[in-house]
Amino acid sequence: MSSLTSYITFWMIFFVLLGAFWYVIDRRFGVKWYRVWFNLTHKDPLPSDVEAGFIYNRKTRNKVMMATLLSTLQTVAALFSLETINLLVELILWIVEVPMTMVGFLIGPWAYRLWRGRNEMYDALDEINAKSEKTASADVVSEPKKEVVESEEPAEKPEEKETTEPAKDDDSDDPRDMMRRYTDKH
């Protein structure tokens, strides 16, 4: 029974992730494909201000149809493969896959924001890197500036700090002693 439960759980998680993946793909590429398909199959073309995909900005009825189509394709592929447990399990799994894919469609907008934010984060890191390279190269190329400050008071001599000699190693290999010596120096 454990293998059956793990099999069903695996496919439930898989279809949640697949639903989110299909939402991101539909948002990224499907909007253009849907516009072409809509214009080919309808008398009036899709208005240019409407942004919709096969899943994105669609009614729940259409999303359920897409989830059913995707889970049916997976079930048919599983039935023809040698990995299926049995027909009853695949039927039960097919019934569970549709709601799990719908959950994935609900998670999809969050996944799309993460996907889109990834590019913004990379752009910000590139800008920071470019600024730091410019600053570093400017520091290396430029000559130090000398400023002359005239003062009426004679300059004070800086106090000489006593130099402490580093502790001599005890030839002790105890990690605690080594850490103690290191932290005493810093």
Compute the distance between CA of residue 132 and CA of residue 13 in angstroms, rounded to an integer.
43
Which runs of consecutive H residues, i.e. helices, occur in 26-86? 31-41, 60-80
Q: How high is the mean pLDDT of the chain?
A: 79
Domain that holds residue 76: 2-130
pLDDT number for residue 49: 87
Contact 94, 72 (CB under 8 A): yes
Does any domain span residue 47?
yes
Does any domain span residue 50?
yes
Q: Give Cα 78 to chain centroid, integer Å.
A: 30
Does any domain span residue 25?
yes
**H helices, E strands: number in the chain:** 5, 0
Does any domain span residue 82?
yes
Q: Which two tokens stand for residue 148?
A: 């002359």
Compute the distance between CA of residue 101 and CA of residue 104 in angstroms, rounded to an integer.
5
CA-CA-CA-CA torsion for 107, 108, 113, 116, nearest 10 degrees? 150
Compute the distance between CA of residue 38 and CA of residue 58 in angstroms, rounded to an integer.
13
Q: What is the pTM of this model?
A: 0.57
Does any domain span residue 178?
no
Compute the distance between CA of residue 90 and CA of residue 99 in angstroms, rounded to an integer.
15
Count of structural domains, the chain: 1
Does any domain span residue 165?
no
Residue with tokens 């409407």: 50
Cβ-proximal residues to 87 (8 Å cutoff; 6+ apart), any chain: 79
Compute the distance between CA of residue 176 and CA of residue 182 in angstroms, rounded to an integer.
10
Is the pLDDT reported for residue 66 higher than 80? yes
Q: Which residue in 100, 102, 96 sits closest to 4, CA to CA?
A: 96
Does any domain span residue 137?
no
Does any domain span residue 162?
no
Average pLDDT of span 27-52: 88
Total Cβ atoms within 10 A of residue 93: 22
Average pLDDT of span 140-157: 62
Out of 19-28, 151-160, 166-175, give the one with best mean pLDDT: 19-28
Compute the distance between CA of residue 19 and CA of residue 111 in angstroms, rounded to an integer.
10
